[in-house]
Structure formats: structure tokens, C-alpha cells
Amino acid sequence: MSDKKKPEFPALPTWLSVTVGFVVAFTLGEYYGFPWWLRLAGVGAVSLVIEAANQIVRRLADSRKNADRA
């Protein structure tokens, strides 16, 4: 048996990041008329923000869990 426990706050699923990326690309292209390279930059920026939020939530959860143990 494995001693590893499942984390309380799992990582955001990949399908969520991909879906948000498509929505951002569509919105920037259709409503704002951005060229493909600006849409790509927008998707990259949104992906970075999603990953940063994911890491912040997981680190806060870990620090709270460790504080409760002490």
C-alpha cells in the first residue's frame, strides 16, 4: 500500500485550461479583431494566470494543513 494521501485541493484539470484557452482565443478574435499572434499571446497569459492561481491555492492549503499539525 502507498503511504501517499490524496491532496485536499487537487490541481485544476487540464480540460479547464484548454477550454478557457479556446474561449479566450475566440473572444479576442471575434469581438476584438486581434490577429493570430495576439490571440496566442492572450492564451499564454491566461494560462499563466490559471497556473499561478492553482499554485497559490495549493500552497495556502499546504501551509494551513502544516499549521494545524503544529
| Residue with cell string 501551509 | 63
- In this prediction, residue 33 carries a pLDDT of 96
Confidence tier at 58 by pLDDT (50, 70, 90): confident
Which residues, including other chains, have CB under 8 Å from residue 10's CB and lie 6 or more apart? Answer: none
**Residue that wins the pLDDT comparison between 56 and 69:** 56
- In this prediction, residue 21 carries a pLDDT of 92
pLDDT digits (tens, 9 = 90+) for 5-57: 655 667 788 888 899 999 999 999 999 999 999 999 999 999 999 999 999 98
Q: Which set of grid coordinates corresponds to residue 56?
A: 497559490
Q: How many CB atoms lie within 10 A of CB 42?
A: 18
pTM of the model: 0.74
Q: Which set of grid coordinates corresponds to residue 17?
A: 485550461
Q: How many CB atoms lie within 10 A of CB 28?
A: 20
- Which of 18, 17, 24 shows the shortest CA–CA distance to 54? 17
